Amino acid sequence: MSDNQLELNIYKGIRDTLAQAREKVYTAINFAMVEAYWEIGRQIDEVVSNRAEYGKGLLKYIAEKLTEEFGKGFDESSLRRMRQFYRIFPIRATLSHELSWSHYRLLMKIENDERREFYGRECVESSWSVRQLERQINSFFYERLLATQQSDKAEVRNEIMTLEPNTDPKYILKDPYILEFLDLKENKKYKESDLEKALIDHLQEFLLELGKGFSYVAKQKRITIEGDHYYVDLVFYNYILKCFVLIDLKIGKLTYQDGMSTILRTE
């Protein structure tokens, strides 16, 4: 293995470690808030269930105090929703680390227990985003699956990835990309411009290799940052991620200045 390849492998390993750590931190923080809302709901329910009239004034008082200290998100309607969350999911141990508060807010709107449990379970097993869960509920996925013959159930389950693809970049962006369709011979004298030309000449194949949702925008696109001009080798747009993907071609050794792939969002 060459020194360049060894360095690249080490870099990828470190990058993957950081990406996994960030994902774990995000999941931990997200679930901590879910547990906090559940606990708030439990405490409110404990008082309100025994003293209904007192509970009305209590919610107003708590909402004002929490909003004053923590900002938006703790008005009376939000506190009532947290109480509802506790009453619908009374066993804390059944809460899922994979589901966010937004997931649970959608699930709470489902009145039928079996239907709600089904969507919660499917959401975890299939890693549905909030938007995907909402679409499945609105399209009566549960009812359609029950009415579908066993041989056709897989097709119904898989339709979500066609109608509402997962927008997590890790499901859209590949690693690595295989560019054997360029049919470039082994030649250490290739320039970055040669690679760029080969990719443009095989643009259709390259778009297929990039994955879902990509469209070609430009090559050698000039961008200006604080008065300095830079030229990006290739620019693509992904309509699923709603962002531009900038590709800077490198033939030689990667340096720390090159950094990771750049994604500019256009929200």
pLDDT at residue 153 tops 60: no
In sequence order, which ranges of the chain are alpha helices (DSSP H)? Answer: 3-48, 52-70, 76-88, 101-108, 113-126, 130-138, 141-147, 153-158, 160-163, 169-172, 192-201, 203-210
Confidence at residue 170, expressed as pLDDT on a 0 to 100 scale:
60
pLDDT at residue 176 tops 60: yes
Q: Are strands 214-225 and 228-238 parallel, antiparallel or unpaired?
A: antiparallel
pLDDT at residue 115 tops 80: yes
pLDDT band at 260 (very low <50, low <70, confident <90, very high): very low
Phi and psi at residue 247, to the nearest 5°: -115, 120
Q: Kindly report the pTM of this predicted structure.
A: 0.54
Domain ranges for the chain, please list them.
1-95, 97-165, 171-265
Q: Per-residue pLDDT averaged across 131-142, rounded? A: 86
Of the chain, the percentage scoring pLDDT greater than 70 comes to: 75
- Among all chains, which residue has been given the structure tokens 């990719």? 199
Confidence at residue 221, expressed as pLDDT on a 0 to 100 scale:
85
Burial 72-83 (b: 16+ CB within 10 A, else e): eebeeebbbbbb
Q: How far is CA 145 from CA 59, 103, 121, 128, 149, in A?
A: 41, 21, 14, 17, 8
Confidence at residue 10, expressed as pLDDT on a 0 to 100 scale:
76
Q: Pick the residue with more confidence: 165 or 62?
A: 62
Confidence at residue 196, expressed as pLDDT on a 0 to 100 scale:
79
Q: Pick the residue with more confidence: 3 or 30?
A: 30
Q: Pick the residue with more confidence: 266 or 112?
A: 112
